Amino acid sequence: MMAYFPFFVDLNGKTGLIVGGGAVALRKARKLLPYGPRLTVVAPALRPEFQELEGVALLRRPFEQTDLKDCDFAVVATDDRALNRDAAELCKERRIPVNVADSREDSTFLFPALLRRGELSVGVSASGAAPAAAACVRDRFAQVLPENLEEILEFLEDIREPLRQAVPDSTVRQRLLASLAVDCMEVGRPLTDGEFRRKLADAERGEPL
């Protein structure tokens, strides 16, 4: 089987449907919500925890084809394999990306082992063949990240415009940004203003970064 390509998609404001009301469906909803989609969950019975999910529409009834209207993506996570397969086929007919829990064959996208730190999202996938191995890689990666990674990311974002003005050459600017990112990760914090200006001065003099 060919490996899956890791697209990163903007879900903010997108409309998502989750078919199923059990533990797996709840786990999928919790993974999706921090990325800003508008979720609807449909199932005859729903775990009580769904009530705690802010902004999620809950439909306590069986899935209907009309639930897919205006849907940007779907997650199917019931314990009825026939229903899962039928719902997936309806999605494919409508060109709606669909993830079917425990069935990569019926899915057109997979959930990765996910790690999020502020604006950084890391998704690790073994193309559905070994989720436990993907989770292990994710956990090892998490161990080496600085605790204040969010501050580092904010710093690197804030300096992009000053660097664009100070370093017109895009190739030099990209090398400098990469070097600044490495420096921040090594010291485990954003650079001070003095450290940043010294690095910028080195780049303007053409010194190795």
pLDDT of 74? 98
pLDDT of 115? 85
Give the C-alpha separation, 117 to 120, whole Å.
5
For the chain (length 209 residues), average pLDDT per consecutive 10? Answer: 82 97 96 96 97 96 96 97 96 97 90 84 80 86 85 92 88 91 92 90 72
pLDDT of 209? 57
